[in-house]
Amino acid sequence: MNQVNADDDHYHAAHHNDAVSLSDEIPLVQYEFLDEPPVTVHDLGTDPFLGLQDEEPDSWTPTVTKEIIKKMKEKEIKRQEHLYEFILTEKHHCLTLKVMQKVFVEGLKKYLQLGLTVERMFPRLVELTSIHLGFLHELRVRQREAPVIEKVGDILLEQFSGASAVKLKSVYGEFCSNHRNAIDIYKECMQQDGRFAEFVKHCQLKMLLAVTAKKKKSATRVWGKNMPVEIAQKRMMVKITDLT
């Protein structure tokens, strides 16, 4: 009798070990998006003139000659640095929006067929992206007219007044007012939809756009491990606060 029990225990233990090995080696579900290659800045489909794909210095001074610097007062140098940083910040914001649209939004629609859910999480994202790409284009035109920028006040006035301001407030207002609802939808999908959670994890680990800075020789992730909805809306709220 003891021999029979020992044999049974050996049988069950062996099959238990087989089951563990099988589950460890073979994923229970194979997702199509896992085979997608990493997304780079060149996959975003933006106008090269905007410079989203370019590696640029962190400050304005390295972009001009020493002769130009010698002719300028310290106050004007600081002004040019601030203008350069402003344009670079707008560039990075455009990158954030394009990455969300290309990697996250288009991916969820393509692989998980979550069209309406995605629209509720990112209302009017396409319009927001278009607005900021247009703004960046105007700034780039001015930046490339001469090494030293004379003014950007006219560009800012055009962007934040009249019909442009009305559209900006409308789009930002809808996007940001849905912040809490978007967060709730995201959390619900993460908890209840295994495909969604796996897709987000995959984006964070393998499909994120990395912008490499030559000077620092390091990669800065556009939305890292944080939720893209929250990052975009926080940045947008900061911009609105600064303008009011």
183-225 pLDDT per residue, tens: 999 999 999 999 999 988 888 776 554 433 333 333 333 333 4
- Predicted pLDDT at 29: 53
Which residue, 113, 59, 47, is CA-closest to 86?
59
Which residue, 211, 205, 203, is CA-closest to 229?
203
Instruction: HSE, CB side, 13 Å, CA atoms: give it for residue 236.
Output: 27
All residue ranges of the chain with pLDDT < 70 are 1-30, 206-244
Sequence-separated (6 or more) residues with CB below 8 Å from residue 72: 80, 148
Question: Other CB atoms closer than 10 Å to residue 152's CB: what's the count?
Answer: 16
Encoding tokens for residue 116?
């309406």
Q: Which CATH number fits domain 38-212: 1.20.900.10, 1.10.240.10, 3.20.20.140, 3.40.50.12280?
A: 1.20.900.10
- Predicted pLDDT at 90: 97
Q: What is the DSSP letter of 104?
A: I
- Predicted pLDDT at 129: 96
* Domain positions in the chain: 38-212
- Predicted pLDDT at 161: 95
- Predicted pLDDT at 213: 32
Q: State whether residue 211 is helix, strand or coil.
A: strand
